[in-house]
Amino acid sequence: MPKNKRINNRALDIGCAVGGSAFELSTSFQHVEAFDYRCIYQTHAPYSSELFIQTARIMQQEHKVFFKLPMEGDICEHATAVLPILNPSCTNSNFGSIRFFVGDACNMPSIQQLGTFDAILCSNLLCRLPDPMAFLGALPNYLNIGGVVLFVSPYSWLEEYTLSSS
Mean of pLDDT over the chain: 85
For the beta carbon of residue 41, count every other beta carbon within 10 angstroms: 11
Q: What is the pTM of this model?
A: 0.83
Pairing of strands 64-72, 75-82: antiparallel
pLDDT tens digits, one per residue of 90-128: 555 678 889 999 988 888 888 889 999 999 999 988 888
The arithmetic mean of pLDDT across residues 10-14, rounded, is: 96
Locate all alpha helices (DSSP H) within 46-103, ordered by sequence.
Answer: 49-62
Across 2-133, the runs of DSSP E, i.e. the strands, are 10-14, 31-37, 64-72, 75-82, 98-103, 117-123
DSSP 109: P
pLDDT at 3: 66
